[in-house]
Chain A
């Protein structure tokens, strides 16, 4: 644990080193997220409710997804880059050290931009989502579980690069899950909706955690935690298998 903690500490120091860039990026992302709030306010201002979702519910969704995604993309930011690290040799640097490869890679880099998401999400929750102590606790739990599902999914699709040799799958998967998690899941019809509860678990990144805050049910909690466990396990396993394949084959590089 000590190597991982020390690496994370260095990654934070690295992001913090360029102070002005840190704050500018953070602010830019918060502004970016604010625009989405404006969008939803305008949208529901015109439309009222859609598929059981109204402005209040969507703002809670936004708060949950920005916090959860911000934690992953900000603090464990290499989760979205597994494919790229493979292809550009960043993996070899990790293999030269006596550390467990995946945890090391995940903490190796902090992205200030996405820390802005976390700050925004927390701010939005406290301003617009009726932060009682109960709701706050559920929000924290939900965002954390959503973050776990997200990190599991990202590492899983990123690890596909071990088998394809290209980084596109990871990238596309990342864009898709974030996009789909930013919209009220019930606007989607049967097949698509089922997809969001399974292969691309966007529903577990945002909608289900948000639902818990409004109305805690055992089934929602159970499915959310199961999803987290399933995706994290799948991710770790796929990465391990892929790593074994990488070290026995490796991509043909200039010898």
Chain B
């Protein structure tokens, strides 16, 4: 188990280093994040001003921090991860990796996470700067502090879930449609585009039961100045479940590959 853990950290660090080596690509990614986040933040800030200063319990400042952090959590990921994992499985590239499913999944998540680190860090920094300038100071810095580990957990949950979905590529050859749907679910049910509290009641309740809230809402809520530590526990809980799901899917798929002869 310790060996597996150290392999994972090695994989994570080395892919982080590799990703950090292309500064122009990173700048372009982060630039794009900044533009997208700023646009949606402007929209909601304007809405708040029109609405008497707040919407769904969030002031304009809080909305600003919310949206920058929600966006940072989601855009840190390689946008086509599901597709790429799906392609790897379909072409049999994963077969090479096939040790035990737990190791495969663990290693892949660790590697992908490493790759996200430069983007996540840069987005968090740039996003915070922009939130400060366009919105104002965070309403509760403790919340902001908690939002940082929450960002990390959000990315890990997202990666685990994507691997569970991509694992479906063992059965279905084209994972692209899965990706599209998945991304939209985060936008709405992960409360990335609309704060959870602004959703109609039935949608709010549904979203709370699904894992997507761990991927955007949790760090956003904390950053917006709502100090709610149980969110971190929620993320951890879902992380365990999602990783287990990914392992189960990969394990079942591996058996199928062996039978079919990938």
A contacting B, Cβ–Cβ less than 8 Å: yes
Q: Which residues of A contact B (CB under 8 A)?
A: 21, 24-25, 27-29, 31-32, 35, 38-39, 42-43, 45-51, 166, 168, 171-172, 175-176, 179-180, 183-184, 187-189, 192
Q: Which residues of B contact A (CB under 8 A)?
A: 24, 28, 31-32, 35-36, 39, 42-43, 46-47, 50-51, 55-56, 174, 176-177, 180-181, 184, 187-188, 193-194, 198-200, 203
B177, A176: Cβ atoms closer than 8 Å:
no
Q: How far is the CB of B224 from chain A (nearest CB, A)?
A: 16
A residues in contact with B36, CB < 8 Å: 179
A residues in contact with B43, CB < 8 Å: 43, 50, 183-184, 187
Closest 8 CB pairs of A and B: A35-B184, A47-B47, A187-B46, A28-B180, A46-B198, A28-B177, A50-B47, A187-B43
A38, B55: Cβ atoms closer than 8 Å:
no
Which listed residue (B47, B180, B187) contacts A31, Cβ 8 A? B180
A residues in contact with B28, CB < 8 Å: 168, 171-172
Q: How far is the CB of B86 from chain A (nearest CB, A)?
A: 14
Distance between Cα atoms of A184 and B47 in the complex (Å): 12
List the A residue with the shortest CB-CB distance to B51.
A47
A32, B50: Cβ atoms closer than 8 Å:
no
B residues in contact with A51, CB < 8 Å: 46, 50
Distance between Cα atoms of A166 and B200 in the complex (Å): 46
Distance between Cα atoms of A121 and B221 in the complex (Å): 34
B residues in contact with A28, CB < 8 Å: 176-177, 180-181
B198, A31: Cβ atoms closer than 8 Å:
no
Given A46-B56, A51-B50, A187-B43: A179 and B200 interface contact (C-beta under 8 Å)? no
Distance between Cα atoms of A21 and B187 in the complex (Å): 25
Which listed residue (B46, B174, B184, B194) contacts A32, Cβ 8 A? B184
Distance between Cα atoms of A202 and B236 in the complex (Å): 42
A residues in contact with B200, CB < 8 Å: 42, 45
B35, A176: Cβ atoms closer than 8 Å:
yes
B193, A39: Cβ atoms closer than 8 Å:
yes
6 pairs of residues in contact across A and B, judged by CB atoms under 8 Å: A21-B174, A24-B176, A39-B193, A42-B188, A50-B50, A51-B50
A residues in contact with B31, CB < 8 Å: 172
Given A24-B177, A179-B39, A180-B39: A39 and B194 interface contact (C-beta under 8 Å)? yes
